[in-house]
Structure 1
Amino acid sequence: MQEGLDYEKLVTDDDPIRDVIMIEKVYFSAGHQAEIAIVNAPDMTKKSNRDRILRVVNEYETTRYSVGPKGTQLWLREYERYQNATGAYMKDDRDTWINGVYEWTQLFAFYRLWSQDFVWSNAQEADMREMKSFRFRIAIKNYDNIIAFKRITALMREIAGKYPDLNITTFQLYRALADQNDAILPNTVQNCLIELLCIGAVGLVFIPNVVFTFWIILAIISIDIGVVGCLSWWSVKLDPISMITLIMSIGFSVEFTAHITYGFVSSKGDLSPKERTAQALEKHAVPVLQARLPFGAVSTVLGVSVLAFINSYTVTIFFKAVFLVVSLGALHALVFLPVFLSRTAPLINR
């Protein structure tokens, strides 16, 4: 099952915004800027530190997701071009690389824009002035889906991790979506495991038999695997919406299997496993299929069938998940589970 949220699905299919989003993906999948902040700025009066900053910038602007040097906005390069254009003699001292840079950012017109890229200490005192932090920008490309954003984010953080002393912080558009997508799979697995453990604990209270409770949990896992497989076949991705429906599926899928198992265990009299199975199916098969239980298969499908005609991704995913859970749940409860119960009961009795 693929991961990622296609954000055009958050609106209905006939919403004009959907067309705008699709046009943006096709024609504007490059050019967004990523901002990189050097929080702990080194002593820029030293040429070795300036060269090191240029190496950092080069790493960022030469990735597969970077436009390249033409898409980079770096004050260091612009300041050197300005100094060369004015014929200034550049030295490795404070007048050139501290006070000179500060005064350059206070000049007229275009140069004043660079003042937003610096954090200074004692900015108004020339003798005490220090460059604390600065930032630069790179242009990124090939980000037409959330998986690409996730990879871009990971790559930027990986490069930043190589220079811990600089305390590099990165930011780009859709960073929140990338981080959210990165957490979806582990959160889904974690929540599903917690649900299974809770169901197992409650199952042991009402069906005090480890083997039978194991079959219930195994049936639930099988049902959920079927749901994931079918949703994937229908090109549904693992996103926050499908994650919620998958977690919800566990609650639905326990209904049928628990009733059949409880009917098998609670059968009265000295009955053989086959007779217990027949009695459990006799009592619960019809209610499972009809509407006597709170989540009868037919009644549940009929109840949510109207959702299939609503032009919304969220609602459609909910309908598909419920339909699959009910169908696979009834199949497991009425066909597979009785076979396992009747086969393992004699072994338990021994």
Structure 2
Amino acid sequence: MQEGLDYEKLVTDDDPIRDVIMIEKVYFSAGHQAEIAIVNAPDMTKKSNRDRILKVVNEYETTKYSVGPKGTQLWLREYERYQNATGAYMKDDRDTWINGVYEWTQLFAFYRLWSQDFVWSNAQEPDMREMKSFRFRIAIKNYDNIIAFKRITALMREIAGKYPDLNITTFQLYRALADQNDAILPNTVQNCLIELLCIGAVGLVFIPNVVFTFWIILAIISIDIGVVGCLSWWSVKLDPISMITLIMSIGFSVEFTAHITYGFVSSKGDLSPKERTAQALEKHAVPVLQGAISTVLGVSVLAFINSYTVTIFFKAVFLVVSLGALHALVFLPVFLSRTAPLINR
């Protein structure tokens, strides 16, 4: 099952915004800027430190998601270009790389824009002025889906982790969404496991038999696997909406299997496993079918609503009820009747 949320699905099919989102994906999947901040700026009067900063920048702008040097906004390159254009003699001292940079950012028009990229200490005292932090920007491409943003975010953090002394911090517009998507799969698995454990504990209270409770849990797992497979076949991706429906489906899937198992366990008299199975189905098969049909009919109106969230809910409920009834009426009775003699021994 693929991960990611397609934003065009959050609006109705006839909403004009949907067309805008699709056009943006096709024609504007490159050029978005990511900001990289060097929080602990090194001593820029040393050429080795400047070369190291250029190395960091080069790593960021040569990834497969980067546009390249043409899409990079780096004050260091622009400042050197300005100094060369004015014929200034650049030395490795404070006048060139501390005070000179600060005064350059205070010039007219275009150059004043660079002042937003610096954090200075003692900015008004030339003798004590220090460059504390600065930032640069790179242009990224190939980000037409949330999975790409997830990989871009991970790649940028990986590069930042190579230079812990610089305390590099990265930011792009969809970073929060990428982090959210990154947490969906582990949270889904974790919540499903917790819910299965809770169902198992409650099942042991009302059906005090480990083997029969195990069959209930196994049936739930099988139902959920079927739901995931069918949703994936329907091109539904794992996103916050489908995650909620999957977790909710566990609660639906336990209903029918628990009824059949309880009917089997609570059968009175000295009956054989096959007779107990027949009695359980005789008592509960019709109510299970009625419950399944009524539930599907009750949510069937949702299938005609032009909304992604509502449609996913209908699909999940339909699959859970259908697969749940199938497991409860066909598969589970076979396992119960086959394992009961072993338990009786």
User: TM-score category by the smaller chain?
Assistant: over 0.9
- Provide the residue aligned with 1:24 in structure 2: 24
1:240-265 CA deviation, whole Å, 9 max, x = no partner? Answer: 11100100110000000000000000
Give the Cα–Cα distance (whole angstroms) in 2 for the partners of residues 283 and 169 of structure 1: 64
Give the Cα–Cα distance (whole angstroms) in 1 for the partners of residues 15 and 284 of structure 2: 45
1:258-286 CA deviation, whole Å, 9 max, x = no partner? Answer: 00000000111111111110111011100
User: 1:301 pairs with 291, 296, 315, which one?
Assistant: 296
Give the Cα–Cα distance (whole angstroms) in 2 for the partners of residues 235 and 19 of structure 1: 20
SS of structure 2 residue aligned to 1:116? helix
Give the Cα–Cα distance (whole angstroms) in 2 for the partners of residues 72 and 187 of structure 1: 36
Deviation of 1:45 after TM superposition, in Å, equals 0.2
Number of residue pairs matched by the alignment: 345
1:139-171 CA deviation, whole Å, 9 max, x = no partner? Answer: 000000111001100100000000000000000
SS of structure 1 residue aligned to 2:43? coil
1:2-47 CA deviation, whole Å, 9 max, x = no partner? Answer: 1110011111111110000000000000000000000000000000
Give the Cα–Cα distance (whole angstroms) in 2 for the partners of residues 283 and 130 of structure 1: 83
SS of structure 2 residue aligned to 1:131? strand
1:155-202 CA deviation, whole Å, 9 max, x = no partner? Answer: 000000000000000001111111011111000000000000000000
- Provide the residue aligned with 1:311 in structure 2: 306
Deviation of 1:237 after TM superposition, in Å, equals 0.5
SS of structure 1 residue aligned to 2:268? coil
Give the Cα–Cα distance (whole angstroms) in 2 for the partners of residues 215 and 140 of structure 1: 51
SS of structure 1 residue aligned to 2:143? coil
SS of structure 1 residue aligned to 2:249? helix
The aligned runs of 1:1-350 (5 Å cut-off) are 1-290=1-290, 296-350=291-345
Deviation of 1:122 after TM superposition, in Å, equals 0.7
SS of structure 2 residue aligned to 1:236? coil
1:206-228 CA deviation, whole Å, 9 max, x = no partner? Answer: 00000000000000000000000
Gaps of 5+ in 2: none
Give the Cα–Cα distance (whole angstroms) in 1 for the partners of residues 175 and 158 of structure 2: 15
Give the Cα–Cα distance (whole angstroms) in 2 for the partners of residues 162 and 8 of structure 1: 37
Give the Cα–Cα distance (whole angstroms) in 1 for the partners of residues 176 and 11 of structure 2: 19
SS of structure 2 residue aligned to 1:136? strand
Give the Cα–Cα distance (whole angstroms) in 2 for the partners of residues 287 and 14 of structure 1: 41
Give the Cα–Cα distance (whole angstroms) in 2 for the partners of residues 39 and 259 of structure 1: 61
Give the Cα–Cα distance (whole angstroms) in 1 for the partners of residues 94 and 64 of structure 2: 37
Give the Cα–Cα distance (whole angstroms) in 2 for the partners of residues 116 and 268 of structure 1: 81
SS of structure 2 residue aligned to 1:124? coil
Give the Cα–Cα distance (whole angstroms) in 2 for the partners of residues 128 and 268 of structure 1: 92
SS of structure 2 residue aligned to 1:22? helix
Give the Cα–Cα distance (whole angstroms) in 2 for the partners of residues 77 and 93 of structure 1: 17
Give the Cα–Cα distance (whole angstroms) in 1 for the partners of residues 166 and 311 of structure 2: 48
Q: When the two structures are superposed, what TM-score results if normalisation uses the length of structure 2?
A: 1.00
Give the Cα–Cα distance (whole angstroms) in 1 for the partners of residues 155 and 201 of structure 2: 42
Give the Cα–Cα distance (whole angstroms) in 1 for the partners of residues 175 and 12 of structure 2: 24
Give the Cα–Cα distance (whole angstroms) in 2 for the partners of residues 327 and 190 of structure 1: 25
Give the Cα–Cα distance (whole angstroms) in 2 for the partners of residues 226 and 236 of structure 1: 13
RMSD between superposed Cα atoms in Å: 0.4
Deviation of 1:101 after TM superposition, in Å, equals 0.4
Give the Cα–Cα distance (whole angstroms) in 2 for the partners of residues 41 and 288 of structure 1: 68
Percentage of pairs with the same residue? 99
1:120-140 CA deviation, whole Å, 9 max, x = no partner? Answer: 011111111100000000000
SS of structure 2 residue aligned to 1:66? coil
1:62-84 CA deviation, whole Å, 9 max, x = no partner? Answer: 00000000000000000000111
Give the Cα–Cα distance (whole angstroms) in 2 for the partners of residues 122 and 348 of structure 1: 81
Give the Cα–Cα distance (whole angstroms) in 2 for the partners of residues 112 and 349 of structure 1: 86
SS of structure 2 residue aligned to 1:135? strand
Give the Cα–Cα distance (whole angstroms) in 1 for the partners of residues 229 and 82 of structure 2: 60
Gaps of 5+ in 1: 291-295
1:302-337 CA deviation, whole Å, 9 max, x = no partner? Answer: 000000000111110100000000000000000000
1:80-108 CA deviation, whole Å, 9 max, x = no partner? Answer: 00111111111100010000000100010
Q: When the two structures are superposed, what TM-score results if normalisation uses the length of structure 1?
A: 0.98
Give the Cα–Cα distance (whole angstroms) in 2 for the partners of residues 127 and 165 of structure 1: 25
